[in-house]
Chain A
Amino acid sequence: MVTSAADGGASPAVLLENLVFRRPGRSRPVLDIPAFAARRGEQVFIAGPSGSGKSTLLGLVSGILVPSEGSVSVNGTRLNDLGGAQRDAFRGDHIGIVFQQFNLIPYLSVLENVLIPCRFSLLRRARAAAQAGSPRQAARTLLERLDMPPALWDRKARLLSVGQQQRTAAARALIGSPSVLIADEPTSSLDADRRAGFLRLLLGECAASGATLLFVSHDPALADVFPAALFLPELNRAPGEDAA
């Protein structure tokens, strides 16, 4: 299991240094970020139009992508130094992810979906068990706090409304208290009312578990509810291109 460097929690939750990312076979970088840091427990809103490299940035922080130059560190661990399987394990242990949509395995129940990270990460399974007695109980507690009625818990995910799906996804990302939560446009498939409600729940739960939140969206209007907001094109020196 990969744990953070022995710095007593002093290192930033997310640290990017001289980060350059090019797609294979391209010479022009998609991302070129000289420096970025997020403190532990910080809730950062990152705005940027589509094609500005938001998803690429999240791929790098989650260890799915590897930078062409520079480094990505999470809780003091340089992801560059890890092998592929180690990065996957690190992501499973320390990072929770909520996508824009299609967050769930459609044929599994709500509870089984929330439990997925506990299936791949021993650390999160142990933490969830320590917090609530068992991973399953931890999942129930989270679902309850995210306003998911118990009647839905055993329902197949494909039968849920979009709002219910996103709340289930948030519970899945939060179970076992990962230290970093990554949210990639999680509200863009919700209508305005539900969007505010979902944001309130997500931010509240992140604060409760002390998780660092990186929240990216093309919608600058959401920035108001975050203590810190960034505009990705200002951070990124690479000229915007067709990146998804």
Chain B
Amino acid sequence: MTRLGYLVFLAAQSAWNRRGTLLLIVFSIALSTTLLLGLERVRKQMRESFVQAVSGTDLVIGARGGDMQLVLYAIFHLGGAANNMGYQSAREIAQKPEVAWAVPLSLGDSHKGFPVVATSEDFFRHYRFRGDRQPTFAQGKAFASVFEVVLGAEAAKKLGYALGHKLLLSHGSGGTRATEHTDMPFAVSGILAATGTPVDRSLFISLAGMEAVHLNWRSGAPIPGLHITPEQAIKFGLEPQSITALLVGLKKRSRVFALQQEIQAWKAEPLTGVMPGVALDRLWSMVDTGERALLFVSALVTVTGLAGLAAAILAGLGERRRELAVLRAAGARPADILILPACEALLLLTVGTACGVAVLGGLIAALGPILAEKYGFFLRLSPPETGEWLVLGGIFLAGFLAGLIPAFRAYRMSLSDGLTISV
């Protein structure tokens, strides 16, 4: 065993001997690590998760109102419904020469808590996520008729529906029986592969399907006594009057500002065109304040934990002056004595941060699915990334510096005590 190896052995034995006290310190370091790393992970993956869900879309167009609200509702199904925009306007925009593709979205219904998105088949062709990936079908195909529905991967798994299964839509985002569109069941025509975006939690029907289930509705409520069968419904035009939003991809991205201005000045109705990245940036800058407050609190918890680390080692030194004198008598240098508390600090930091990483992993495994279900926000269980390594490094460095306080105290004690300690 080398001299340093022996000192590490001694530090570990000594720490184990005082494990009762030190356990609390390890606990507080673990807590700090979990908090700081968790914050960093949520911050990073929340941003990624949002940005990845709209990677191919240049503009989200909808009725004028809150820009951010429009994006959050249309793409992430978060928050309340904005005003609708006219379908006529959407068609006119889609036919503009600079528009490569346009996908209409109409929201508002749900099935057992999963949002139902009425759209066109173009959605499966043109929607992009995580760079340039396109949704693919794990089973079946896109809806071909009015009363067919496509399930997102997560929704299919949770609901346990197979191809051909018939389901009823509910009005609004709730799931109560009273507002179900009981007359018109939809058959599952396809199930999408997982994308890691809100698509996974959604059900997709055609715009005509959405029209059909609302034929006997006026002002958000069924008309009493009016029943329409699916067979009758198909005979109606089923052309929607309005939609929630239009996703637009351009042939040339550079045209986005020009088109945006044009939308902004739309004659027929007040519209707005939002670049999703810009809206999300604005969202982050709002979230930033809260994040910074959380970061501040977590940093305080960490500082408290590390101060506890230094204090616990210092308190231990008082009882250990005799030990240090014994080692000095056997030929240990004051520098060796300095290494012992520093080693102890590093050992506690290692155990503490390792526990913290493990606890974070456990929390993500336990809470990740709930977050995905409630907020469509995907938290991955993954090894630490650069930012998290920096956080870990920061904790270690700060902890090591805190450990130097007892280390230098031990050093000075061993110089002044020598072999004679007046206890």
Please determine whether B333 and A107 come into contact, CB atoms closer than 8 angstroms.
Answer: no
Docked-complex contact A104 and B422, CB < 8 angstroms: no
Q: Are A84 and B419 in contact (CB under 8 A)?
A: no
Q: Which residue of B lies closest to A172 (CB)?
A: B330
Instruction: Give A89 to B334 CA distance when docked, in angstroms.
Output: 11
Contact, CB under 8 Å: B419 / A58? yes
Q: Is the CB of B333 within 8 A of A88?
A: yes
Q: How far is the CB of B320 from chain A (nearest CB, A)?
A: 9
Q: Does A68 contact B (CB under 8 A)?
A: no
B320-336 interface (Cβ within 8 A of A) = 322-323, 325-336
Produce 1/0 per residue, A95-109, CB < 8 A to B.
001010011111110
Q: Could you tell me the distance in whole angstroms from the C-beta of B9 to the nearest C-beta in chain A? A: 9
Q: Is the CB of B330 within 8 A of A116?
A: yes
A173 vs B215: C-alpha distance in the bound complex, in angstroms?
99
A186 at the binding interface (Cβ < 8 Å):
no
Number of interface residues of A (CB under 8 A): 31
B176, CB-defined interface residue at 8 Å: no
Looking at B10-18, B341-349, B352-360, B366-374, the stretch in contact with chain A turns out to be B10-18
Q: How far is the CA of A64 from the CA of B418 in the complex (A)?
A: 6
Known A58-B419, A244-B422: A108·B1 in contact at CB below 8 Å: no
- Chain B positions 395-423 with a Cβ under 8 Å from a chain A Cβ: 418-420, 422-423
Stretch at the interface among A117-125, A189-197, A199-207, A226-234: A117-125
State in angstroms the CA–CA spacing of A167 and B180 once bound together: 88
- The CA of A93 and the CA of B13, in the complex, are separated in Å by 25
B6 CB-CB contact with A under 8 Å: yes
B10-48, CB < 8 A from A: 10, 13-14, 16-17
User: Distance in Å from the Cβ of A98 to the closest Cβ of chain B?
Assistant: 9
For residue B3, CB closer than 8 A to chain A, the reply is yes
Could you say which residues of chain A place their CB within 8 Å of the CB of B423? 102
Name the one of A106, A120, A244 contacting B17, with C-beta atoms under 8 angstroms. A106
Residues of B contacting A105 with CB < 8 Å?
10, 13-14, 323, 326-327
Could you tell me if B326 and A62 are in contact, using CB atoms closer than 8 angstroms?
Answer: no
Query: Is A65 among interface residues, defined by CB-CB distance under 8 A?
Result: yes
> Are A88 and B332 in touch, CB under 8 angstroms?
yes
Cβ contact within 8 Å between B330 and A117: yes
A55: interface (CB < 8 Å): yes
- Asked if A119 and B6 sit within 8 Å, CB to CB, the answer is yes
In the complex, how many angstroms separate the beta carbon of B336 from the nearest chain A beta carbon? 8
Binary contact track A110-131/B, C-beta < 8 Å → 1, others 0: 0000001101110000000000
Using A55-B419, A102-B322 as known contacts, say yes or no to A62 and B329 having CB atoms under 8 A apart.
Answer: yes
Taking the closest CB of chain A, its distance from the CB of B416, in whole angstroms, is 9
CB <8 Å contact, A59 and B419: yes
Q: Is A92 among interface residues, defined by CB-CB distance under 8 A?
A: yes
Q: From residue 48 to 69 of chain A, which have CB atoms closer than 8 A to chain B? A: 55-56, 58-59, 62, 64-65
CB-CB nearest in chain A for B416 = A24
CA A172 – CA B330 in complex, angstroms?
9
Cβ of B326 and Cβ of A116 under 8 Å apart? Answer: yes
**A residues near B327, Cβ cutoff 8 Å:** 105, 116, 120
A117 and B331 within 8 A (CB): yes
Q: Which residues of B contact A91 (CB under 8 A)?
A: 329, 331
Question: A92, B419: Cβ atoms under 8 Å?
Answer: no
A62 to B332, CA, bound (A): 12
Could you tell me if A65 and B331 are in contact, using CB atoms closer than 8 angstroms? no
Taking CB atoms, residues of chain A closer than 8 Å to B419 are: 55, 58-59, 62, 64, 97, 99, 184
Q: How far is the CA of A139 from the CA of B419 in the complex (A)?
A: 23
Nearest CB on A from B244, distance (A) = 69
User: Which listed residue, B13, B16, B330, B418, touches A59 by the CB 8 Å rule?
Assistant: B418
The reply on A6 being an interface residue by CB < 8 A is: no
CB-CB < 8 A to B326: which residues of A? 99, 102-105, 116
Over the window 163-201 of chain A, the binary record of Cβ atoms lying under 8 Å from chain B Cβ atoms (1 yes, 0 no) is 000000000100000000000100000000000000000
Q: In the complex, which residue of chain A has the Cβ closest to the Cβ of B6?
A: A119
The verdict on A121 contacting B331 (CB below 8 Å), with A105-B323, A106-B323, A107-B13 known, is: yes
Within residues 279 to 327 of chain B, which ones have a CB less than 8 A from any CB in chain A? 322-323, 325-327
- Pair A97/B13 contact, Cβ less than 8 Å: no
Q: How far is the CA of A59 from the CA of B3 in the complex (A)?
A: 24
Give Cα A138 to B188, complex, Å. 82
Query: In the bound complex, how far is the Cα of B331 from the Cα of A13, in angstroms?
Result: 19
Q: Which residues of B contact A56 (CB under 8 A)?
A: 420
Closest A residue to B331 by CB, please name it: A92
Q: Is A85 engaged at the interface, CB distance under 8 Å to the other chain?
A: yes
- 9 A-B pairs whose Cβ atoms sit less than 8 Å apart in the complex: A88-B328, A88-B334, A97-B419, A102-B326, A104-B326, A105-B327, A107-B16, A172-B330, A244-B420
Q: Besides the contacts A64-B419, A120-B330, A120-B331, what 9 more A-B pairs have beta carbons closer than 8 Å?
A: A58-B419, A84-B333, A99-B325, A99-B419, A104-B326, A105-B10, A117-B331, A119-B3, A244-B422
* Chain A contact residues, CB within 8 Å of chain B: 55-56, 58-59, 62, 64-65, 84-85, 88-89, 91-93, 97, 99, 102-108, 116-117, 119-121, 172, 184, 244
Interface residues in chain B, defined as those with a beta carbon under 8 Å from any beta carbon in chain A: 1, 3, 6, 10, 13-14, 16-17, 322-323, 325-336, 418-420, 422-423
